[in-house]
Structure 1
Amino acid sequence: MEGTLAYVTDKYSGLQIINVRNPANPTLRDAYNSPGYILGVRVVGSLAYVADYHNGLQIIDVSNPANSTLRGAYATPGEAYDVSVVGSLAYVADGNYGGLQIIDVGNPTNLIWRGEYDTSGGAVNVSVVGSLAYVPDGSSGLQIHRCQQSGQTSPAQRTIRRGMPTA
């Protein structure tokens, strides 16, 4: 949600932008259909950062909600499931083959790879709070990674597996 607009991922129909000012009568403002499957989205200001399963990270300009346009894209090595954005860095949960990918999105038309963490399972979600990236990683459980300003990651002090803390 951003104001009265809901940004909804629809695996087969892309990104749906819906005006929900009147909850009894939501109206479609625009639909951005990507070449792949959109599974995750984060909106920051006028940009929607989209995890597109087969095509990696896509950045969509939603400043005109009736005419969204692609601003930039970065093909990740795995399958992009989810994205979190902090400052000028996007953290992409990139499935079995890509782990956690860190991409500099400071210039949306020139995205730069900054780092990665090869998770042991399938990274399907990511949430970054402060300097920690929380990555639910399939059968490996929740992994927590300390993120540095440069985008590089290092394992944090604890990893939670199946609800049990381990050293």
Structure 2
Amino acid sequence: MTARTSAGILVFRRASGLEVLLGHMGGPFWARKDAGAWTIPKGEPSPGEDLLAAALREFAEELGVPAPAGSPMPLGDVRQSGGKVVSAWAVEGDLDVATIVSNKVEIAWPPRSGRTLLVPELDRAAWFTPDEARRLVVKAQSAFVDRLEEALGVR
């Protein structure tokens, strides 16, 4: 069996020190969770779709705005605890997190109930220092923050 893959964009800015943009996963399961409930905007590529193209498309779908223009910096891959492999790129830019409007997805809720609920993929986004991001992001994705700092020479 092939591992599922996702591709995402880690936006960063350097206004008052390095900050990265993360999204909080939507839906009732994540509603009261903080640590481990934040992610880079990402998603699965369509069959035959280039991973960077998928990352840019997913960013726009999950935040309702295109990723900042700029040269995407590859951050490599990580394997999350569930087995999914995530590829990411960093792009410098700024974004007003108050303006995000995520696409909606249908989930089974409560689990195994046969009922469904329409929820935003990301219910909010926020800027974090690298240390805050490492504490809050899905554990495996903290490597992307480390790699960004190394690439920028700020570690």
Normalization by structure 2: what TM-score?
0.27
Larger RCO of the pair (alpha carbons < 8 Å, separation 6+)? 2
More strand as a share of residues = 1
Larger helix percent? 2
Give the alignment's TM-score, normalised by structure 1. 0.26
